[in-house]
Amino acid sequence: MSGIFKRFWRESDAVAAIEAALIFPLLLAMLLGVFDMGNAILMNQKTIRASQVTADLISRNRSVDAAIVSEAVEAGRLAFAPRSSEGYGYDIVSIRFDAAGSPQIVWRETDGMVPMASVLNDVMALSEPGNGVLVVGVEYEFHPTFAGFIMNTFLMREIAFARGRKSPVVAYE
């Protein structure tokens, strides 16, 4: 019986196969995690781009109407192409600073997300009496492709600030 154990310890033909079988699941999980992380970084960059594109297109006008805002929102949504823009939300706020430099909301349009609660506090550093600022917040729900068993989704939020190009405050007609 001791001869069988001695021969078992001396045999090393299948050691590489056993090591590969033990390490392969770990390597596969790491590879899929890197894939999901790369997609998350890409989608975060697209979220930044969506907020900046929307703010830029709206700030080009003295005043906007529902059609102009809708086109700017659609341009922001197209920033996610070719990926799906499902889970996309926006909050667009035009703010005027009065003679004392206090911010006042001129108009606001929100869809697919909760309005930004601290928007008036966030623009205090940009306060110039008689001037204004346009704030565009964008949210995107990212769904990992492979890591769904660890986390279902996570929310990406980006905010873009823009000054009106043709007027101090972008009005809404």
pLDDT digits (tens, 9 = 90+) for 107-140: 999 999 999 999 999 999 999 999 999 999 999 9
- At residue 33, the pLDDT reads 86
**How many Cβ atoms sit within 10 Å of the Cβ of residue 149?**
7
Write out the residue range of the structural domain in which residue 73 sits.
Answer: 13-172
- At residue 21, the pLDDT reads 85
The CA distances from residue 68 to 54, 63, 83, 109, 170, in Å, are: 10, 9, 24, 12, 12
pLDDT tier, 19 (very low <50, low <70, confident <90, very high otherwise): confident
Residues contacting 35, CB < 8 A, separation 6+ = 145, 146
Q: H/E element holding 106?
A: strand 103-111
Does residue 108 fall inside a structural domain? yes
pLDDT tier, 66 (very low <50, low <70, confident <90, very high otherwise): very high
Average pLDDT over residues 133-149: 89
- At residue 11, the pLDDT reads 67
Average pLDDT over residues 49-58: 97
Does residue 1 fall inside a structural domain? no
Q: Who has greater pLDDT, 2 or 93? A: 93
Q: Mean pLDDT of all residues in the chain?
A: 90
Residues 2 and 129: their CA atoms lie apart, in Å, by 93
Does residue 8 fall inside a structural domain? no
Task: State the total domains in the chain.
Answer: 1
Quote the crossing angle between the two packed helices 66-78 and 15-59, to the nearest 10°: 160
Does residue 166 fall inside a structural domain? yes
- At residue 139, the pLDDT reads 96
- At residue 8, the pLDDT reads 62
pLDDT tier, 17 (very low <50, low <70, confident <90, very high otherwise): confident
Task: Classify the C-alpha dihedral 52-64-113-140 as positive or negative.
Answer: negative
Does residue 152 fall inside a structural domain? yes
Q: Who has greater pLDDT, 18 or 86? A: 86
Average pLDDT over residues 10-36: 83
